[in-house]
Structure 1
């Protein structure tokens, strides 16, 4: 009992009265309230500062409930020919819908939905403009509990013109409940038109996961996608509690920026004419791959280019049947064959080692352990003959070209190849460019490169080299863009020719042209002379062109030799033609790989008519001065040099040329270390800029460089420059290009205009 009393006494020892207990509970409740209030304040502060709670973005949830956004598609830039004819243009299509929600009214109470008494008029208009059944339209308009309704397939893909007609008819009837949604599209009005070169677009999902935009997939459309595509805009609308858009509440969250227009150097009439004649050519030969490109000799502009098989840009007909999508112009490398002999002859003349009277036997020539024969001996047409070196070129003698190469010496010949920029990508502005290789490690292969075997090239590399022959020794970078136009600022960037070196003298180039004429006019040895024609196979209005044909074996993909077979089906045929021969305005290069049928007269089906048409249109092409289509646009679009340090010089060069800047890469590493202008500087169209990669081993060809860039080169290398003459461009340099740089302390530079 005593233990029980002690426990009870302890339990009752601190017993409080009712008033004291109420006071204690009150204090506890007060402390709890303060604690909960602090918790609320902290959570409120977190929500206000971060907009998030429990992993949920409350701001986004609120915005989603009370706001909605729509994408305003930027207009993709139009691609034009040189005179302003559209090649690829925006072709936005529309889908029609009708608003049924009675909550969709304006701030003034105007009804913006389809009212019952308007249904007949709507059905009639859509029947007339879209071919919809009136009963179907009415049944859609009578659907219950729908915010809006659409009208199936016939209510989609509406052209802009039809949209305007429908809107006019609705406005006349006072109907406001019909709307349209836009879908981006691309129209190629010319169909088959430099299809591989222009390329096409496809729809790609945007980051919002709700909309799509056009993205360049191939060709120029892909290479210039950033310039063409612009930036989509965003418009925000307020919504009611039930999710209905409030009319008149739109806010532009991001202004759309339309893409820039690209004016190519292509000529629509010449391109169309080339396409027609290529069809005739291919129908006879049926080659695995045929291609043709026409170039302005004085500017380096590509006026027309195509290949077979091809496809229709607009309908995509033929696209699925292509063996591969590669562009023959700049993505396919191959051994060119005898058209390379043009550069061999020009180099030998320039080197002073060409003796046209030197006579030799065509009955075989041995280089180390390899015997080289001429084509007529390999074909069993001859046991050998005696030719002089002038005849050697006209007859396309492999032995004659090897003699020229041997007289120059391997080192000198390789210098000429590098001065013609073989072995290097042109970086003329298109993505995914391939480039050929110069094999300098094998004496036999080096000798064979003199007649176009054992060396690989791309067509764009050959076209660049041919420009030196056609243009007094001055080599031009091929161009395919004449101007860029920015509709947002009414500004433009306009291109001019880009000189990229002078591998041979003017005299060597002009003599080479004369020898090229003999290929078609020499009745005894000329490979393009035809007794059937009574003269040159390739001529323009009866006047012979400067020409050179080629026949080459085709290397296997794995490099293990040449594809097997006999006759045309295992060979690549090609021809280059320049006209007028004494001072070319145009030159054209055509290839034909593995034809089913072949006759040298086939060249007449494509080369002659296209060159004739080019001469007929010469005065209308505007080749002697910059583009005139944008003459009324005086302000230039800005382009600031991005941070290119540590980037690959090739990729940077391509981007700069896309913006009509003229880059020159100096050095041998694969990263840019310095630039001749500061990062962020606005670069003018046709401005020349040096990209220094370091580890420079040989003196570059500085022909055409600005004096400012020569000064920068001197600063970077420590080489003293002594100037002669006046002007701002290099016309001569005292130390030849490809000379080892390690012992060079001083260079004399001659300036001119």
Structure 2
């Protein structure tokens, strides 16, 4: 019989449990010791994980550099836009706070006051089923802070906003293809900052690395309750803001030019048009415009044309090229103004060359040939100096080469110069293609004592953190002719304007001598590969240098295929409608800038910005100026003229407040006074008639923002 002793068995079990527990404790202690020594579990660094658990970081956003005009007025700046979102589901709501739209009718009625959608369209959006939230298309995007604030004041449950960094172009249409624009790369919407904005065209693209900033960050530690741990280390990397860029463009002149170009665009709808005002002594571009164009902020019109016509578009320049041919001929000593030739037609190997009047004007002098823009005369001059010599001059003037502007896709054009007919054609601007920048650069040599200046659109770059300035100095890129030749060429070019037979008689301006050359270039039909004939299928142009004895300004205008329906004008007449107001305004600014002694009735404009409207008006009481306030705010944010500029007693000045842009009562105003409001607000006006304002399509005190079209009717007072 096998007797079992329960007590003895329990003792054995207890011993086993004891030694098992000891073993487990040893293993556990060893494991803890191993972890304490190594600081790792399964290859993971525990101290790093602990640090990650309590370490927090935040981004310190950097700003993209601001683009200013030459006087420091903002052209492009960082901003925040808001997108409107309506939450339809109640899954995020609670009894204390409703997070979804509860009254769709009330919401639609409120929103239609602030976005460009009708109540019915908004209700259609809000009544969609099986959606947690809805957006409102383009009408609900790119909303300003003021609009967002106005909507928030409606206290609409379920209406929320998404913030997006964006770029603001406060002047609307403003050298848009030259300035360009910056935007977020396609698809990026979340966790973005201003440093994610990327240049897409123009200066914004060309100088993207300079304008773009670098975000900083702060690293710190918090406890489990979210409080910063005392005496813990805080690491901060400061953001580096992008550099600011100052253009050579003058806002006053640019806004005025844009208004003139818009009038012409609406009236004649040309296929393309450009106008560029440049200082030939420095190459600084004062104003530049093109059509088609677009609004930098809204992007309206950008789908019409992506090209920057100043550098990307090539075309046959026509007779404005004769400025360079004339300069070369004078330099080579083959232009005798009193020598005679037979006009009308010239036969060369490959085909005949015709004057624009195929019958010609008989036997005339070369000076008259210049005035009449005779192709035969210039073909003769090319032959006199030899094709090889003429080609050397074209190379020296930069024809067929880029200007190295730094802008994207700059074209260099082409020169067909293999056969006698091709060689002769280049002398009067056919059979070769150029860019507007090339022509402007070449013209500066004639206007600037033989020194050819690179077109310049940046005046300086400023470190926005330190204020350190890098000034972009004028650059001489060649001297194709001497000072004496340049002066003589200018003297001859006055014949185009002041000779009774000159093609530029209509470009005279009282009080100034003008040196100019007009052009009418044929256009190749892309389908037939032949030149168009008849109608207005030409590029009409003018290059004018003022004053002729020592030019301070060059205005170069091109207009391609304007649509003239009633025969009331000609293609060159369209160019004159651009030329006269722009050149006259530019000369007014030039005269003000050069005036050494103030006139007895002159007034120095005081600084009126940054103070209340009441203070500003009081400070102007004794100036004898005619003050107009635009806006319903309480603080002056812009003024025209700018501080310290000189104006004349009784002239109209315009102050703009921080409120909504309200329409002034313009009855009896001159066109120039109306354009001052356009200049300061960026709002374009359409004019009908000449004289003084007799009616305006937008009532006084109405909000100008968002108005599709404001028409101003002018009439000449009856004597």
Residue 586 (structure 1) aligned to one of 533, 550, 553: 553
- In structure 1, the partner of 2:316 is 335
Residue 504 of structure 1 pairs with residue 492 of structure 2: no
Question: Where do residues 357-436 of structure 1 align in structure 2 (5 Å cutoff)?
Answer: 357-377=338-358, 382=359, 385-436=362-413
Stretches of structure 2 that go unaligned for 5 or more consecutive residues are 1-15, 86-94, 99-109, 112-132, 152-159, 565-569, 597-719
Change (3 A) 1:343 1:357: same
Q: Report whether the alignment pairs 1:492 with 2:452.
A: no
- Length, aligned pairs only: 526
* Aligned 8 A contact 2:559 2:575 in 1: no
Q: Is the 8 A contact 2:311 2:436 kept in 1?
A: yes
Please give the alpha-carbon distance, in whole angstroms, between the structure 2 residues aligned to 1:283 and 1:165: 35
Equivalent-residue separation in structure 2 for 1:164 and 1:256 (angstroms): 29
Q: Distance in 2 between matches of 1:555 and 1:51?
A: 73
Q: Superposed, which structure 2 residues align to 1:299-310 within 5 Å?
A: 299-310=282-293
Match of 1:454 in 2: 431
**Aligned counterpart in structure 1 of residue 456 of structure 2, from 464, 476, 479:** 479
TM-score after normalising by structure 1: 0.61
The correspondence for 1:82, drawn from 38, 59, 70, is 70
* 2:521–2:540 Cα contact (<8 Å) kept: yes
State the Cα distance separating 1:233 from its structure 2 match: 2.1
Structure 1: runs of 5+ lacking an equivalent = 1-21, 53-57, 98-115, 120-130, 133-149, 167-178, 529-535, 625-753
Matched with 1:562 is 530
Q: In structure 1, how many angstroms separate the alpha carbons of the residues matched to 2:162 and 2:360?
A: 76
| 1:521 corresponding residue in structure 2 | 498
Q: Distance in 2 between matches of 1:493 and 1:482?
A: 9
The TM-score normalised by the length of structure 2 is: 0.64
User: Aligned pair 1:281/2:260, yes or no?
Assistant: no
- Confirm or deny that 1:267 pairs with 2:267: no
Deviation at 1:466, TM superposition (A): 0.3
CA contact (8 A) 2:562 2:571 kept: no
Distance in 2, matches of 1:239 and 1:562, equals 76
Q: What aligned pairs does 1:525-674 form with structure 2 within 5 A after superposition?
A: 526-528=502-504, 536-541=505-510, 543-555=512-524, 561-569=529-537, 571-597=538-564, 598-618=570-590
Contact kept in structure 2, 1:277 and 1:606, CA below 8 Å? yes
What does 1:114-133 align with in structure 2 at a 5 Å threshold?
Answer: none
2:215 to 224, 232, 250: 232
Measured in 2, the distance between the counterparts of 1:62 and 1:317 equals: 53
CA RMSD in angstroms, aligned pairs only: 4.6
Indicate how the Cα distance of structure 1 residues 156 and 446 shifts in structure 2: closer, same or farther if over 3 A, else same.
closer
Partner of 1:445: 422
- Alpha carbons of structure 1 residues 547 and 208: separation in structure 2 relative to 1, 3 Å: closer
Distance change in 2, residues 1:595/1:163 (3 Å): closer
Matches of 2:471 and 2:168, distance apart in 1:
25
Report the Cα offset of residue 164 of structure 1: 11
| Cα deviations by residue, 1:316-356 (Å, 9 ceiling, x for unpaired) | 22223x1x210111110111111000000000001111122
Q: Quote the Cα distance in structure 2 between the aligned partners of 1:224 and 1:72.
A: 23
Post-superposition shift, 1:81? Answer: 0.7
Distance 2:586 2:348 in 1: 44
- Taking the aligned partners of 1:622 and 1:65, their CA distance within structure 2 comes to 68
* Shift of residue 250, structure 1, vs aligned partner: 9.8
> Matched residues in 2 for 1:253 and 1:180: separation?
30
> Secondary structure in 1 aligned to 2:390?
helix
Range moving further from structure 2, 543-552 or 262-271: 543-552
Aligned with 1:434: secondary structure? coil
- The answer on whether the counterparts of 1:205 and 1:211 sit within 8 Å (CA) in structure 2 is no
